[in-house]
Structure 1
């Protein structure tokens, strides 16, 4: 997802924010292309490209000569697209204006809710039923490929690359889905669960930073998430 446009190249924080907003999908709301895809050989292919709304150069699509290099590389001037949509918007700039592309970013949260199948539920049990498969999938992935798994001892595998791929392709997108479901049904949460949810949100943001920019540290997975929307008795 790198951009090679000199001073218009976005910062690490901007790349993290774009990835977090996309949740692993093209930010064109009419496109449902996943940006990270596993092949049958266990390899990972990514289609994510950071597109400039106003061009990085004075002669590019939708150019605005009044913008500084820093403004051209800012979050507000970037959108994360699949390779096809990036080519499309740059080859037909008259059809894809800056206002339309900015609207894409504003519409993305609503589009993701539909893409993830997010809906309002009438009970806590329904919310739990929606998030439990995602939590379980993440646990299985972590136990199978995580830093404490047996996979790290397999000298014939590229363990760090496999774990990073699983994190970007599975765990982080699942976390974003979980957040979307619970955010849609916040009225069913207790005060304690609201704090747990925000800790989980920070945990997800820190995972993105760690696996996109090699940042150190961050919020650990809050164990209370295992009981989110679970009623005893």
Structure 2
């Protein structure tokens, strides 16, 4: 009996020895799906993704200043490309892990119609967006309003959050009647799960290609490599599809 236990005792630490942590900077639009992705990643690989949520623009500045993030999941494709060019990202690890969608949303289930005609009515209350200088979804909101010819109408009513998470909170708490948010923030299992929403037509804004990249601090970390590989898996993509992302 004792001899049978020895291989088990020797084998037990092996999985732990190979398991590790990866520090991940994640764009705020990925808050909800990343919770499930991180949990499934841990179950599949034994590695732990330690997630920090924020705006892509702010992460860029922090990474330039030496923040020890090992993987970036951005809300755009430009920021990872810049980091790779600047030598702060590992060459050859950058890829598009999702394409996001913009939605006009209200916590009130009767406010936003499926065609977004509410935008063409006289403004009633505030309109929340993410800071377009820091957050790609904020820039997409401004672009959509501009193409609709409604930016001047809504400009006085706009309130800005630092990132798309704050913009969503403004609308969710009623501090703003409407909000331009990431579809993923109000969708689950392939349908809008709360409030009312208009999925903004893709032709009204530049495609929200979201790229990931391994950063220099993660170059030798197997957990970092494992995470980017997991994001390419069918399991991860099935999760992201449930939140409205495309590929």
Instruction: Give the alignment's TM-score, normalised by structure 1.
Output: 0.26
Greater relative contact order: 1 or 2 (C-alpha under 8 angstroms, separation 6 or more)? 2
Instruction: Give the alignment's TM-score, normalised by structure 2.
Output: 0.25
Q: Bigger radius of gyration, 1 or 2?
A: 2
